[in-house]
Each structure stands twice: as structure tokens, then as C-alpha cells.
Amino acid sequence: MALNNSSLSAIKRAQKESLLVREISQLFMKTAMDDTRLQGLTINRVKLSPDKGTCYVFFYTDKGEDAFQELLGVLILYKPSLRKALAATIQSRYAPELVFKYDAQFEKELRMDQILSDIQEQEKNLVDNEQKEDKS
């Protein structure tokens, strides 16, 4: 089974994103240990632009997007040193530009889980009520 160029490209992109997640997470953890303001943030995922020149780093905090926006200025202050450290750790011609974003995907998943739990609970209550009515 031969792989075509797009398959190889997708595999290489996934490998590079995986490497970036690992390295950026480690660098960020070291930074967060030094600056306690960043300790509530976690890196959820990393996405490379099609030209691989920009790396979007998606953060999540349980305090919400407003708290992330307040910390964005602090993150931006650390961006040059993070990028320099990243360039030293990855084997690449250049380190991608880092762009920090809030990851609302996790909140959406939590809301979906809550909605599904509510529906399950409502269905259970309906069945329980029907069984009580049948016994009466």
C-alpha cells in the first residue's frame, strides 16, 4: 500500500504538531512555575497554519475566557523567550510564530455532557413516573 503525497504531508504535519504540543507544554510549565499568574492555564492543543509558519496554541482555564483575556498580556510578554527556547529544542529551519488563543472547545464539550446528563435524568424521571402510575 503506497502513501500519496497528501497522506505523507498529513502525517508529517501531525508529527510536527505533536512535537510542538510536547515542547511548548514543557516550556510553558517551566514558565508557569516562575510566574504564578499563569498556573491556572493549560495547553489543550496546538495547530499549525498550512504554511507551518504560525503555531496556534490553544489554552483553557476553568475560570473562563475573560480570565484568559486578562492573562493574554502576560503570555505575550513571554512569547519571545518561549519561541527562542522552542527553536533551541526542535530540529527545524525556523521556529513558527506563536499565537495564543482561548480554546472554547472544552467548554462546549462540558455543556454537551451536561445537556446529555439532563436528558438522561429527565428520561429516567419519566420512566419512574410511568411505573408509579402503572402500579396505582
Q: What is the pTM of this model?
A: 0.75
Question: Is residue 1 scored above 60 in pLDDT?
Answer: no
What's the CATH number of domain 5-103, 3.40.190.80, 3.40.50.720, 3.40.190.10, 3.30.300.20? Answer: 3.30.300.20
Q: Where are the domains of the chain?
A: 5-103, 105-136
Question: Is residue 17 scored above 80 in pLDDT?
Answer: yes
Report the pLDDT value the prediction gives residue 108, as an integer from 0 to 100.
Answer: 84
The whole-angstrom separation of Cα 100 and Cα 14 is 19
The residue behind cell 511548548 is 24
The whole-angstrom separation of Cα 33 and Cα 27 is 10
Question: Is residue 130 scored above 80 in pLDDT?
Answer: no
Q: What are phi and psi of 44, to 5 degrees?
A: -90, -45
Strands (DSSP E) along the chain, which ranges? 42-48, 54-60, 97-102
Q: What is the pLDDT of residues 29-85, one digit of tens each?
A: 999 999 999 988 999 999 989 888 999 999 999 898 999 999 999 999 999 999 999
